[in-house]
Amino acid sequence: MIFHVLTIFPEFFRGPFEHGVVARARNAGALEIRVHDLREWTFDRHRTVDDRPFGGGEGMLLKPEPLFRAVESLWPERGRDRAVILLSAQGRLFDQAAARRYSGMSELLLLCGRYEGVDERVAEHLADEEVSVGDYVLSGGELAAAVVIDAVARLLPGVLGNRDSAVYESFGESGGLDCPQYTRPADFRGWRVPQPLLDGNHAEIRRWRRRAAAEKTARLRPDLLRPPQPDGEGGEGKI
Ligand code: 9D3
């Protein structure tokens, strides 16, 4: 799979993908990450990528022309096996289902927003999807793009060393969190590993793990247990 990243901070991506699962996948040829400098698609002396918002307001926006030129020169043809994704605080929340869907594509092109935002015509007429990684304010789309690449890369065939570990985990089949896990020592500063895990009765271990996972999910992520609510009531936050 090929990931393209379009950013005004190409150096940002030197670090995150030189270690761990993604680095191994790159070396094995399972994926390729091509980082492009948005300023290469500017023609003026100052290589301008931003401008002031019509109607007034704080800060600057990424202007549309360099983004359109970049995408149209990287991908003169669009297709169902490739998607242009705008990373923005206004996007749809990225989740494991989206990661799985992207992992079936042959190429992704990630557009990183900066400044106060991006001209809306990019979301409307250039990007296939507008995606946020969570309800908090980042200073740009670069960290979000790295999150998306990491989550998708580890689902690619061969990347995890071919165990089924991409399936049996949090947000996999059960929808809840993983159960708590322990390693040696069995007693650390008086905090004992739960007895069923030490006893070696595999039926008891399964029962304990199921219950402990459900309890932890209820405590930390009750939203994962609640069935999806019908549209129109709540869920809109403060809007
Ligand atoms: C505080 C500024 N906000 C109100 C004027 C709007 C805003 C503009 C630009 C908020 C964040 C950003 C930069 N963030 C991203 O580009 C971004 C992001 C994020 O902030 N949170 C979660 N996911 C993402 S993906 C891209």
Q: Per residue of the chain (239 residues), what is the pLDDT tens digit?
A: 999 999 999 999 999 999 989 999 999 999 999 999 999 999 999 999 999 999 999 999 999 999 999 999 999 999 999 999 999 999 999 999 999 999 999 999 999 998 899 999 999 999 999 999 999 999 999 999 999 999 999 999 988 764 555 554 557 556 799 999 999 999 999 999 999 999 999 999 999 999 999 999 999 999 999 877 787 554 555 56
> For residue 132, which atom of ligand 1 is closest to its CA?
23
CATH superfamily of 172-224: tRNA(m1g37)methyltransferase, domain 2 (1.10.1270.20)
* 43 Cα–ligand 1 center, Å: 27
User: What are the residues whose beta carbons fall under 8 Å from the beta carbon of 63, sequence distance 6 or more?
Assistant: 48, 49, 50, 51, 119
For ligand 1, atom 8, which residue shows the shortest CA distance? 116
Name residues contacting ligand 1 (CB within 6 A): 87-89, 113, 116-117, 132-134, 136-141, 144
CA-to-CA distance for 26 and 118, rounded, in angstroms? 30
CATH number for the domain whose boundaries are 2-153: 3.40.1280.10
* 138 Cα–ligand 1 center, Å: 5
Q: Provide the edge-to-edge strand list for the sheet that holds 50-51.
A: 50-51, 61-62, 117-118
Locate the domains of the chain by residue range. Answer: 2-153, 172-224
> For residue 131, which atom of ligand 1 is closest to its CA?
25
User: What are the residues whose beta carbons fall under 8 Å from the beta carbon of 139, sequence distance 6 or more?
Assistant: 114
**Cα-Cα-Cα-Cα dihedral sign, residues 169, 100, 116, 112:** positive
- pTM for the whole structure: 0.93
